[in-house]
Structure 1
């Protein structure tokens, strides 16, 4: 089943709609969706390394645009939708701690959390809830999300054939590793923040 899914994503990346799917996943991951866009960006870039920079740009811009929706949820709808989303992901008890961190380390919170596997929606919703400066939120989101997606693109573009070979030979192990990173990110967000 895993091999079929991988082969489907690799084949799908050749379709004209693939960049749209990447954009939708990156957009929704920044506000409501739990799956990171890397899940699409990696196989798409492995299948079409010449489009690595295009995919990174799509992921970055879509993630920042979705981040603005997350920010709006936190700023305008926190008592209803925002709080429900935060609680859904198990971070309800951490919001006050996260909000207090903004008072002292706002720039660093956005820069560091945007690079990690900690769900970016936590950052975006809390930024709105904490009334963090919108201009700086956008600037820092572009920097941190751009760094994440363009670094990934550079690595895949330079080491893509070797990485693809490694992934295809050890697909189960790589999937388990990616799953572990996502789970560790969620645990870090729940217990470290």
Structure 2
């Protein structure tokens, strides 16, 4: 089923990629980087352009996920969970939301999880957008740059090393965020 949906979006080229990336920010079950990889395999010279389209559409969809979380997720959460759990979860997201959104924007975890939870837990929309720009930019442009530089051989690099690369970059980002947050607390 997922393959059929991806093929449907592929028929529309860049517009399909834009739609998939936009919808991934709040509802779609299919991450757009699969389509970005497929399109980049077919036309490596346009890989940076594909990255730009996916990045832009993904970031533009983030506020919709945020608003869905705020309007629909929050009331639902209050109906299914005890109030004390909601309070604890909100505090945890306020404390660790920066790292969660930044790492989530870069990893294969569906981005909609982080945009919707940001709205549910009253996370700052400005911060969500800031970290989405960084994380989504890194993710889409890393793929685009690999295909632009290495052409079809980039697929081998992605197949063999992408998960390790994602983990390494996510670890570096998490370490930088951790050090930054400790320094911020010291000087506050």
Common fold: TM-score over 0.5: yes
Equivalent pair of 1:75/1:128 in contact (CA under 8 Å): yes
Once the 2 structures are TM-superposed, how far is the Cα of residue 76 of structure 1 from its aligned partner? 1.6
Unaligned runs of 5+ in 1: 88-93, 168-173, 179-193
Task: Give the alignment of 1:52-63 within 5 angstroms.
Answer: 52-63=47-58
Q: Which residue of 1 aligns with 2:116?
A: 125
CA RMSD in angstroms comes to 3.2
Equivalent pair of 1:101/1:109 in contact (CA under 8 Å): no
Once the 2 structures are TM-superposed, how far is the Cα of residue 126 of structure 1 from its aligned partner? 0.3
Q: TM-score, normalised by structure 2?
A: 0.68
Equivalent pair of 1:95/1:126 in contact (CA under 8 Å): no
Equivalent pair of 2:70/2:120 in contact (CA under 8 Å): yes
Q: Which residue of 1 aligns with 2:32?
A: 37
Q: Secondary structure at the match of 2:106?
A: coil
Q: Which residue of 1 aligns with 2:176?
A: none
Q: Which residue of 2 aligns with 1:109?
A: 100
Q: Deviations over 1:93-128 (max 9, x none)?
A: x98876443221221111111111111111000001
Task: Give the alignment of 1:67-86 within 5 angstroms.
Answer: 67-79=62-74
Q: 2:20 aligns with which of 20, 25, 49?
A: 25
Whole-angstrom distance in 2 between the partners of 1:97 and 1:119 = 23
Q: How many residues align?
A: 151
Q: TM-score, normalised by structure 1?
A: 0.67
**Relative to structure 1, is the Cα distance of residues 98 and 32 closer, same or farther in structure 2, using a 3 angstrom cutoff?**
farther
Q: Radius of gyration: which is bigger?
A: 2
Whole-angstrom distance in 2 between the partners of 1:133 and 1:34 = 25
Equivalent pair of 2:66/2:117 in contact (CA under 8 Å): yes
Whole-angstrom distance in 1 between the partners of 2:86 and 2:48 = 35
